[in-house]
Amino acid sequence: MKKNKIYGYEVGYRELGSRFNRYYTALTYKQAISSLRIYQKYPVRERESNRPLIDPVWEIQPITKKEILRSILDELPFLWKHSTLPLSLGLW
């Protein structure tokens, strides 16, 4: 059986009766674990509506090639790869 290449990890949550919602993307599993622990310890809010999450179940899932083709890397925190530094920062 051929294993799929993993392009990173996504940390997300499921509320009761909802689908997986991605909250953070990480390049390594160690980064994903540390952010997962923080989200479980301190309550977070939904990013779009700023409402508190009701009893979320946090998960780590690998990012697959299918998601890469749907351009997940155009979102943060991967956005820095496509942008350039401002001229004022380049002069220092």
How many structural domains comprise the chain?
1
Alpha-carbon gap, residue 92 to 82, rounded angstroms: 21
Q: Is residue 92 one of the residues assigned to a domain? A: no
- Would you report the helix, strand and coil content of the chain in percent, each value rounded to 5? 30, 20, 45
Q: What is the mean pLDDT of residues 76-91?
A: 48
Q: What is the pLDDT of residues 3-37, one digit of tens each?
A: 556 788 999 999 988 899 889 888 889 999 999 99
Q: Is residue 87 one of the residues assigned to a domain? A: no
Q: Is residue 91 one of the residues assigned to a domain? A: no
- Domain residues for the domain of 17 are 9-82
Alpha-carbon gap, residue 68 to 9, rounded angstroms: 12
Alpha-carbon gap, residue 76 to 50, rounded angstroms: 18
End-to-end CA distance of the chain: 52
Please state whether the predicted TM-score (pTM) of the whole model is above 0.85. no
Q: What is the pLDDT of residues 48-83, one digit of tens each?
A: 889 999 889 999 999 887 777 776 555 555 544 444
Strand pairing report for 21-26 and 57-62 = unpaired
Q: Is residue 25 one of the residues assigned to a domain? A: yes
Q: Is residue 20 one of the residues assigned to a domain? A: yes
Q: Is residue 3 one of the residues assigned to a domain? A: no
Structure tokens at 43: 């309550």
Q: Is residue 30 one of the residues assigned to a domain? A: yes
Q: Is residue 4 one of the residues assigned to a domain? A: no
In this predicted structure, what is the pLDDT of residue 5?
66
